[in-house]
Amino acid sequence: MQQSFRNICWLALLSLIAGCGGDQPALPELDTGPVIFVTLDATGAGFTNIAKGIRTPTGVTGGPVSVRGSNVRYDNATNRLLVDLSVTNNGNSAVANPVHLAVLELQPAGVSTIGGLIFEFPFANDDTQWTPGETSLPLTLSFAAAPGVVVNLTAEVRAGFTGPGGSLDNGEISGTVWLDEDFNGTRSGDEQAAVGILLELYDGAALPDSGGPLLQAVTDNAGDYRFADLAAGSYLVRVSPRPGLLITMESVLPIFLPVAGEGVGTVTDLDVGVVVSSGDAQFLAVAADAMVRSDSASRANDNHGADPFLGVGTDLIRSLLYFDLSSVTGPVISARLEMHVAHYITGSGQTYELVLNRVVESGDRTPWIEGNGSEVTPAPTGVVWVNEAEGVAWLGAGDGGDANNQTRPDFDPLVYASVNLVQTEHPAGDIIFWDITALVNGWLNGDYPNYGFYLRDVHLPTTSRQVWFGSRDGLLRQYTDPRVQPGPRLVLEVE
């Protein structure tokens, strides 16, 4: 990329930090979430940067340009930074519409890189020219960001890129849905296409339950689906939920369509594995899971809620799991918990006695919260390194107001299910089963509230050992670790 391109427009959003003391600059009004520091103009309304020029199909011309930002805020629910931008033509000549902001790079690595993404500015005057002195309507940018980083947004203003060879709405997302009979997230040669599965396309800045989809597609006889004529940008592809359908990878998949030349790129391999129930079986993917550990004073109550693995060992490293049973219809004849072995941390022939204990009411420690901590690198955006000295988030939970460290919830000492896991007999990839029919029926009958359960290792002697199982976050957050396995699921047989 030529240096002149990089200098066309440079925006600096300074220090996205959670909980900082000392002198602080004036702040815009914010929703609940981490504190955001930004450079402000004299009126406190936002920030302004002057770009040297406008990139057009014939070169750089028409400048200077003012890019103004306001209403900088952080969406705590989605870990996204939002800012409203507008652009003014300060030059003496008109250029052709449409006018775009082409985001080239976001730094540092802790923030999502969205190189090549193009946003189109709206204008009140919908003509073919961007004239001197004309200001666009606000354009809201939204991108993933983590607390505690400095964000440098490098971009350029573009105008007039339309017509043959310059289409900005010719992108495509496509893939195949297959019947993942072995529930391992990888299609084998004998696994068949899943026909008639409904998929939905959403804007990447929106949550799937915040409004209707942009587009819908149904898989054909080969299991293929396709979303066409898409603009550059971020999207979410969701397998539409329905009774008896379990997605073995993740039901919501983020995807990014970059600019390719003056057009838009394509993603043609967004494949999804599913299991379709037959007869009276129902499947549930785990709704929340987290590894919590207190195997040293410095690690007391560390929450690895965003880790791709669920660790268990020596009863000081436990995993919390929660299944949402609101969709279960009919009395349950059997309920089987299934978890994939991912990795053994220590030893070569050790034995684990893995038991399940129901989480009980524990004041402000229930419902427990799935934190955003992980020790596995490289970590996706929004995941925080688990600091061994300080612990990491239960994200706003109580325990004296310390959001980084919460005492773990209590549990019923009654063992509802147990399995002896022998390391030499169960390599990575094996599926381990627990019969939790009594526990599930107790929740469904209202005998006790559903706060989920602990998975613990109570084998004696308590020599150091740890086994990892696949968590829902491995596929959900698109970790690249080769040891990633599918997360836990519950297989129910109902009357």
Sign of dihedral through CA atoms 290, 380, 33, 121?
Answer: negative
| Residue 41 confidence (pLDDT) above 80 | no
Q: Highest mean pLDDT: which of 145-149, 213-217, 227-231, 233-237?
A: 213-217
CA distance 69 to 310: 42
Residue 322 lies in a domain: yes
How far is CA 329 from its chain centroid? 29
User: Is there a single domain that holds both residue 142 and residue 176?
Assistant: no
487 versus 77: the higher-pLDDT residue is 487
Mean pLDDT, residues 33-43: 43
Question: CATH code at 215?
Answer: 2.60.40.10
**Domain ends where: 220, 245, 276?**
276
Same domain for 152 and 56:
yes
Tokens of 331: 């009395």
Mean pLDDT of 438-467: 91
Residues 138 and 152 in one domain: yes
Tokens of 62: 């028409």
**Whether residue 327 sits in one domain with residue 195:** no
* Between 224 and 408, the higher pLDDT residue: 224
The answer, yes or no, to whether residue 435 has pLDDT greater than 90, is yes
Domain count, the chain: 3
Closest CA to 136 of 123, 126, 117: 123
Q: Is the pLDDT of residue 169 over 60?
A: yes
pLDDT higher than 50, residue 12:
no
Per-residue model confidence (pLDDT) at position 301: 66
Whether residues 68 and 134 share a domain: the answer is yes
Q: In Å, how far from its chain's centre is CA 107?
A: 19
Q: What mean pLDDT do residues 186-215 have?
A: 82
193 and 289 share one domain: no
pLDDT band at 38; cut points 50, 70, 90: very low
Query: Does residue 353 share a domain with residue 222?
Result: no
Which helix (H) or strand (E) segment holds residue 476: the answer is: helix 472-476
Q: State which of 254, 276, 298 marks the end of a domain.
A: 276
**Could you tell me which residue, 394 or 211, shows the higher pLDDT?**
211
pLDDT surpassing 80 at residue 37: no
**Residue 57 falls within a domain, yes or no?**
yes
Tell me the pLDDT tens digit for each residue of 87-98: 999 888 888 888
Instruction: State whether 339 and 466 are in the same domain.
Output: yes
Q: Does position 451 have pLDDT exceeding 60, yes or no?
A: yes
220-234, 257-271, 326-340, range with the lowest pLDDT: 257-271
Supply the pLDDT for residue 493: 85
Residue 70 has pLDDT above 90, yes or no: no
User: To which H or E segment does residue 442 belong?
Assistant: helix 437-444
Which pair of structure tokens corresponds to residue 205? Answer: 């800045």
- 10 or 416, higher pLDDT: 416
Q: Hey, what long-range contacts does 18-23 have (CB within 8 A, 24 or more apart)?
A: 18/147, 18/148
Of 453 and 83, the one with more pLDDT: 453
Q: What angle do CA 313, 317, 318 make, to 5 degrees?
A: 100
The pLDDT, as a whole number, for residue 31 is 31
User: What is the reported pLDDT for 113?
Assistant: 54
Range with top average pLDDT, 190-199, 323-332, 403-412: 190-199
In terms of residue numbers, what domain contains 91? 3-159
Residue 119 sits in the same domain as residue 22: yes
Position 322 pLDDT exceeds 50:
yes
pLDDT value for 421: 94
**Per-residue pLDDT at 92:** 86
pTM above 0.85, yes or no: no
The model's confidence at residue 4, banded by pLDDT at 50, 70 and 90, is very low
Residue 251 has pLDDT above 50, yes or no: yes
Amino acid 280: pLDDT: 64
Burial 334-356 (b: 16+ CB within 10 A, else e): ebbbbbbbbbbeebeebbbebbb
Confidence of residue 295 (pLDDT cuts 50, 70, 90): confident
pLDDT value at residue 186: 78
Is 164 part of a structural domain of the chain? no
Residues 404 and 293 in one domain: yes
As a whole number, mean pLDDT of residues 66-80 equals 71
Domain boundary among 124, 159, 194: 159
| Residue 459 and residue 322 share a domain | yes
Regarding whether 115 and 91 lie in a shared domain, the answer is yes
204: left (phi > 0), else alpha (psi -120 to 50), else beta? alpha
pLDDT greater at residue 105 or residue 75: 75
Residue 162: pLDDT band with limits 50, 70, 90: low
Residue 36 pLDDT more than 60?
Answer: no
pLDDT of 178 reads 93
Please report which confidence band the pLDDT of residue 45 belongs to, taking 50, 70 and 90 as the band edges. Answer: low
For range 393-422, the mean pLDDT:
68
Does 165 map to a domain? no
Tell me: pLDDT of 267 over 50: yes
Among the ranges 56-70, 350-364, 384-398, 476-490, which has the highest mean pLDDT value?
A: 350-364
Q: What is the pLDDT of residue 242?
A: 76
